[in-house]
Chain A
Amino acid sequence: MERRVVITAESSITPIGHGKKEIMGSLMNGRSGVRTLREDKFLAAYIHSKVFGTVDYEVEYDFPRKFRKTLAPVSFYACQVAKEVMDSSGLDQDFVSSGRMGVAFGSIHGSPSVQRAIYETFFNSSEGAYKSINASDYLKSMVHTTAVNITRMFGITGRVISSCTACTTGSQSIGYGYEAIKYGMQDAMLCGAADEYDTTTVAVFDNLLACSTAFNESPEKTPRPFDVNRDGLVVGEGAAALLLEEYEFAKKRGAAILGEVVGFTCNNNGGDMILPSEKGVEQSIAMGLRDARLNPEDVSFISAHATATKMGDIVEARAINSKYGNRPLVSGLKSYMGHTMSACGAIESVIALYMINEGIVFPTLNLEEVDERCAMINHVREIRDERIDIASVQNFAFGGVNTCLFIKRMA
């Protein structure tokens, strides 16, 4: 049994705004959400990259205390976008708690801010240190904390999938949610990912010399995917949630349908844990197109992973050219907000939906001079009014994981 899967609600908290109106405003005005890395009295002083994709506005939460007690910052983000999706969904509670609706939601490693407090006890053997490990600390910091705080808050009783594959977490959440519905295991899945402000992640990339450092005095000028002067990625924070439903179920209840997920793939490079692989990305695209039953020429727009690392962008551009030629439009949306880690695939899928539904394609920000080694694809350099029939969202992660999602415009 294969069933159609549609997207019926979305929400996101990003460095360029909260919700469609704010995010569209930033995209329309070419506004960056990259700011100076804020001080954390921990690692920030030692990190060479002084830029961060920052949620620099207040998000208003009204969660009762019974929920707040197990929420770390990462889950505040996750539960807020989930709440906005649930509020707009119109789903009735009987269905939500029927076991036919599940959650696929993750983060790169739970809550680093809570984990840091726990780790302090590793180096302080005393009864005081032991007692300082609060009863709720594990629930706040565990790797599936976002998913199960969402299930608890909304009484969702179906499947729980909590991917934690770094930068492919969000796209895997959508992909595995799509498959759970497509093959009849669930009728609806709340999918997404979130990550909180965290300098340990920045330090990892900084020590690998993969972070941007040349634009510390002008944060909005970086990252610069595909640009000749790109000098690395910018870590960021944020969250996004999407509601996926079986098509007939959504149609019957009169849900607004924003787009259809028509394909997903996930593969591994089968080799290096860090270096990107052209062959691996090509295989991912080819497998995704097969799953979606699409030809390369059916795809109008590609949201590239495009982190703005020297090698990563070249490998991705070459792989896109190899499988699609230079016809589909290509943008790197991290140029606006940095790399929101686990959340990037979900946020980029939400923005792809905006573009599909508004008939607009947003350009790669800061792409002033295309690196000739990335020039073989159809870069979007300015806002364009274009009809997108099929968008593909590509994401790649440490460990050699690649994903491709295919989202179709509803007629």
Chain B
Amino acid sequence: MTRDEIKKKILAFLEEEFEIQNPGLDDNLREKHEFDSIDAIVLLEYIEELIDSPLLQEEKKRAMDIRNINQIIDYIEGLIRARS
């Protein structure tokens, strides 16, 4: 999966699941779009589907530092690399 493909899928998911429309890639999701810890868990479940692999507890904890969409994409690319 390319970075652009990941970006498209994440943006679509954010819009469909969280009603976040046209976010900036560097927007602070919590401050600007009220994205909270409940949403983060839902997003992690989606990422498991996206990469077709369960996340380790340590990988999930690492995701708690993520603040914006660029960081989500970086995180997913890292997960894919670790599994290839």
Contact = CB atoms under 8 A, between A and B. Distances in A.
Interface of A: 64-66, 69-70, 131, 135-136, 139
Interface stretch (B5-13, B36-44, B66-74, B75-83): B36-44
B19 A135 contact: no
B38 A65 contact: no
Contacts of A139: 38
A64 B35 CA distance: 13
B34 A135 contact: no
Contacts of B41: 135
B42 A66 contact: no
B38 to A, nearest CB: 5
Q: Which 9 A-B pairs have the closest CB atoms?
A: A135-B41, A65-B19, A135-B38, A66-B34, A136-B38, A69-B38, A65-B18, A135-B42, A64-B19
A64 B33 CA distance: 12
Contacts of A135: 37-38, 41-42
A149 B42 CA distance: 20
A139 B41 CA distance: 14
17 contacts: A64-B19, A65-B18, A65-B19, A66-B18, A66-B19, A66-B34, A66-B36, A69-B38, A69-B39, A70-B38, A131-B45, A135-B37, A135-B38, A135-B41, A135-B42, A136-B38, A139-B38
A73 to B, nearest CB: 18
Interface of B: 18-19, 34, 36-39, 41-42, 45
At the interface, is chain A mostly helix, strand, loop or mixed?
Answer: loop
Contacts of B39: 69
B42 to A, nearest CB: 7
A133 B46 CA distance: 15
A70 B39 CA distance: 11
Nearest to B45: A131
A2 B39 CA distance: 45
A240 B49 CA distance: 42
A40 B6 CA distance: 41
Contacts of B18: 65-66
Contacts of B37: 135
Contacts of B42: 135
A135 B45 CA distance: 11
A103 to B, nearest CB: 21
A94 to B, nearest CB: 21
A70 B19 CA distance: 15
A66 B35 CA distance: 8
Nearest to B35: A66
A368 B42 CA distance: 56
Given A135-B42, A136-B38, 13 more contacts: A64-B19, A65-B18, A65-B19, A66-B19, A66-B36, A69-B38, A69-B39, A70-B38, A131-B45, A135-B37, A135-B38, A135-B41, A139-B38
A133 B45 CA distance: 12
A136 B39 CA distance: 9
A69 B45 CA distance: 16
B28 to A, nearest CB: 15
Contacts of B38: 69-70, 135-136, 139
Contacts of A131: 45
A77 B19 CA distance: 22
Nearest to A65: B19
A136 B36 CA distance: 11
A187 B5 CA distance: 54
